[in-house]
Structure 1
Amino acid sequence: MSAENISKKRDVHHVSRGWNLILNLIAGIFAFLCVFPFIFVVIISLTDEKTLARDGYRILPAQWSLEAYRFVMQSGDTLLRSYGVTILVTVLGTIISLIMISLYAYAISRKSFRYRRFFSIFAILTMLFNGGIIPTYMVVTQLLDLKDTIWAMILPLAMNAFYIMILRTFYITSVPDAIIESGKIDGAGEFYAFLRIVLPLSLPGLATIGLFSTLGYWNDWFNALLYIDNPNLVPLQSMLMRIESSIQFIQQNSQNSAVSMAALQSIPQDTSRMAMVVLATLPIIFAYPFFQRYFVQGLTVGGVKE
């Protein structure tokens, strides 16, 4: 390629300083619009309840208050225990989910696997049909005997057919067969090739599935509602939902009891709801940079030499 052609190619992809400033400004505004709702939730959670009732929702409230967080923190050890249970369930569940999904997706992505079509259809069928809540409850509590155990919140979410299909497609499109075959020529077995060759090249896909699984486990409260009666095993989302239910119960019965009316007036209703959202969301927000690091790392690992 001549120097003139190289110069023309650079001119085509060159963006002037003015356009670069405009595009960065548009991207910054869009990023701010994405982040602002959560910032506004934090502001509301720090607003005095009486000020909120009088002035409504404002970016700069007339009076700040930590009463909502004090109300939520009154549970003390229960809140910390719920955080610990949720973190344990999320970490263990994500690891188990990644192991099971990555192995299943890799098997059905290989053309040499004789039963790949059968297991692909088997996974897709679970996306279309399920046994329902009652049979699932019977399997978990009676057949597997997982009621009031940490595994009742982990195993039901460990396999996801949709994630399997995503990772299967990623293996097919992003992991060349030539790399796997070259490893086998050098003496690598199927499992060794998967660990040493496929997984390093699949970090973007694994990070995506890991993020989905982490969000699913962190936000799950339904399994705890079904299977957990032990107060020491209640996860964060379920505990916050119980606090919200208690507030609603007091609201509904406030007219029937002077005591309930006094309790209702002492509860920061709207701000406490926002405080619950903040407490439940902040840890998962801090997890995003770690997944982002693996996204970038995975995109720069390996390739087929020509």
Structure 2
Amino acid sequence: MESKKKTPIFLHILFILIALSTILPLLLVIIVSITDEHTIQVNGYSFFPEKISFEAYRYLFLDSGTVLRAYGVSIYVTIVGTVVGLLMCALLAYPISRRDFPAHNKLAFYVFFTMLFNGGLVPWYLVFTKILHMKDSLWGLIIPGLLLNGFYVLIMRTFFSTSIPTPIIESAYMDGAGEFRIFFQIVLRLSSPVLATIGLFYTIGYWNDWFNSLVYLSNPKLYSLQYMLNRILLNIQFLVQNTRNNHAAEQMSAMPTETVRMAMAVVGVGPIILAYPFFQNYFVKGLTVGAVKG
């Protein structure tokens, strides 16, 4: 009996330590972002800073219109990309999950093949810019490399084949329902765990993406938040390292380089932290049920 009581206590302590190991670094980033730059240079990072300063956020939002516009671009791209990507994944995963679909094995292999090989960066760029004309377009942030992921399709296919009872589909056929009605009114409604899981993957992928902005955009008004923050950081580092004038060098050395870096992390990760609790109830169930069997 004593050993049985000790086991839950040990597990509680273990999970508390794991939770702290994930929460404390985030808390440190937030604290450092509101710490005075000179204090960090003298004392290093600390959970209890000697002097509080919001200079990093003030510097980051000097041009608040640009930051808010980048926020809007990232929010729009994330929402549209997640919704369209989920729909396309489901529309591809459902047919290859059906044993009565003649080409389901060949199509599943084709999806798997795309996970192993790709055409490379140059053909990838030429197709989307010269043929599909996505240069300086928001579609250039949504479609290339992000919209349809073979791994997500296979997870969703496995969920459909293992968690959607076949008798329900057969009963719907007997009642006169067509394929589209079965898919949208029955299959999708029973697939909320895997949809929420893949939706979270899509949300994180689109929100954190900066590479498509680097490759496809030259118009600053279309920059995503992550790419804009990355450019700000690179500009600060360039100015600090290449300033020759002594007076200017003193001013550059006073710039909040370390605190700006942390403030950028806080600004960039904030919406994802707020969105995660809405997916949490379905996340573990959808991921495990959809990935147990192949």
1:201, 1:298 within 8 Å by CA — same for their partners in 2?
no
> RMSD of the TM alignment (CA)?
2.0
Q: Which residue of 2 aligns with 1:272?
A: 260
C-alpha offsets along residues 72-117 of structure 1, whole Å, 9 cap, x if unaligned? 1112100000000000000000001000001100111101111112
1:68, 1:275 within 8 Å by CA — same for their partners in 2?
yes
C-alpha offsets along residues 141-165 of structure 1, whole Å, 9 cap, x if unaligned? 1101111111000011111111111
In the alignment, which of 156, 178, 184 is matched to residue 167 of structure 2?
178
Deviation (angstroms), 1:26:
3.1
1:85, 1:236 within 8 Å by CA — same for their partners in 2?
yes
In the alignment, which of 14, 20, 28 is matched to residue 40 of structure 1?
28
Greater Cα offset, 36-45 or 181-190: 181-190
Deviation (angstroms), 1:271:
0.7
1:253, 1:260 within 8 Å by CA — same for their partners in 2?
no
Structure 1 residues 295 and 220, CA, compared in 2 at 3 Å: closer, same or farther? closer
- Partner-residue secondary structure (3-state), 1:139: helix
1:261 partnered with 2:249? yes
Q: Aligned AA for 2:116? A: L
Q: Which residue of 2 aligns with 1:304?
A: none
Structure 1 residues 215 and 296, CA, compared in 2 at 3 Å: closer, same or farther? closer
In the alignment, which of 74, 86, 93 is matched to residue 74 of structure 2?
86
Structure 2: which 5+ runs fail to align? 288-294
Q: Which residue of 2 aligns with 1:201?
A: 190
Q: How does 1:134-173 map to 2 (within 5 A)?
A: 134-156=122-144, 157-173=146-162
Deviation (angstroms), 1:265:
2.1
Q: Aligned AA for 1:258? A: N
1:248 partnered with 2:237? yes
1:215 partnered with 2:231? no
Q: Which residue of 1 aligns with 2:280?
A: 292
Structure 1: which 5+ runs fail to align? 1-10, 300-306
In 2, distance between residues paired with 1:231 and 1:251? 23
Q: Which residue of 2 aligns with 1:75?
A: 63
TM-score (norm 2): 0.91
Q: Which has the larger radius of gyration?
A: 1
C-alpha offsets along residues 113-152 of structure 1, whole Å, 9 cap, x if unaligned? 1111221111111111111111111111110111111100
1:200, 1:298 within 8 Å by CA — same for their partners in 2?
no
Greater Cα offset, 179-188 or 106-115: 179-188
Deviation (angstroms), 1:182:
1.9
In the alignment, which of 213, 225, 233 is matched to residue 214 of structure 2?
225
Aligned residue pairs: how many? 284
- Partner-residue secondary structure (3-state), 1:200: coil
User: Where in structure 1 do 4 or more consecutive aligned residues deviate above 4 Å?
Assistant: 18-22, 293-299
Deviation (angstroms), 1:184:
1.6
Q: Aligned AA for 2:126? A: M
In 2, distance between residues paired with 1:298 and 1:158? 20
